[in-house]
A = this chain, B = another copy of it.
Amino acid sequence: HAYVTGGSKGLGKAIAKLLASKGAHVTIIARDKDHLQIALEEIKDAAKGREDYKNLIFNAISADVTNYEDSVRALNEACDLHNGRAPDFIFCCAGACKPGLFIEQDISEFESGMQLNYHGTLYTVHVRVKRMTRQRIKGKIVLVSSVLGVMSFIGFSQYAPTKYALRGLAETLRNELLLYDISVHCYFAGTIDSPGLQQENKTKPKITSEIEGDDVALSPDQAAKALYKSLCKGHFHITSDLGGNICRVASKGAVSPTNNFIVDSLLSAFAWVCKNKINFYFVLYIL
């Protein structure tokens, strides 16, 4: 049984579809009921070819993950369909980015960004981990950070700190939840061609777009597939593109496990080059 927040669009919906096609029960959480219904149909379609299709339970719950009580209610509803049993897999995909220049952005945009991206995930994880440990359910928790949770530059002061915070939460919980055999994974998503990206590009400063350059965006389905593949391998820090992988290695932290020692070491060398490239472009731009 997989529980996916932000499951009505973009990456969340793509993961839900992929898991359904692999035979998982899936519950998706989002606010907008119309989008939830559309997503639920797509998820059912993805599983239709399976022999066990009739036994699979798909469910969509409208809830606001930035509200703790609502997160509790959503979990309870999801558990009720499974005889009270907590979900085995949790994917926290709800999140949004509003780029802008630091001094031009209103403080409320910083607050609402932290509330959705960090606290929205924290609430979901806290409620579920408490129930998982009570029921002694081993499982996986996937936090969706961003490449902007390992490096950042002009234009992302509203967003990057929230994704850094998620990395810090993942780093702590990876270690702490070993006690209960719950594995924690942190996905540093790169650019994904989703409704969120279109929203984001509306307020993105020109300089930010220029530094990003012709960043190749993955489709939500491609990102979901890459994430799933890494989860099967048991990676803690997960990326789905070369740029993200280089950033991951460059900032993997002191207690985070390496994915592959040789590959990671080679990428470290690239990281040094890339780092100077970003700084170089930036200096070029302001001159």
Interface residues of A (CB under 8 A from B): 68, 101-103, 107, 110-111, 114, 118-119, 122-123, 126, 129-130, 133, 148-157, 160-169, 171-173, 175-179, 246-247, 250-257, 271, 274-275, 278-279, 282, 286
Contacts and interface: CB of A to CB of B under 8 A. Distances in A.
A151 B102 CA distance: 27
A103 to B, nearest CB: 5
Given A157-B169, A171-B160, A255 B176 contact: no
B254 A176 contact: no
Nearest to A126: B107
A168 to B, nearest CB: 3
A31 B282 CA distance: 40
Contact of A111 (B119, B156, B275, B279): B119
Contacts of A271: 254
A177 B102 CA distance: 9
A274 B256 CA distance: 11
Nearest to A149: B168
A119 B113 CA distance: 12
Contacts of A255: 151-153, 275, 278-279
Contacts of A247: 253-254
Nearest to A166: B161
A118 B165 contact: yes
Contacts of A111: 119
Contacts of A254: 150-151, 246-247, 250-251, 271, 274-275, 278
A118 B161 contact: yes
Given A68-B107, A102-B126, A172 B150 contact: no
| 9 shortest interchain CB distances as A-B pairs | A164-B168, A151-B254, A161-B168, A251-B253, A154-B176, A165-B165, A161-B165, A160-B168, A152-B172
Contacts of A175: 152-154, 282
A152 B164 CA distance: 13
A157 B172 contact: yes
A11 to B, nearest CB: 20
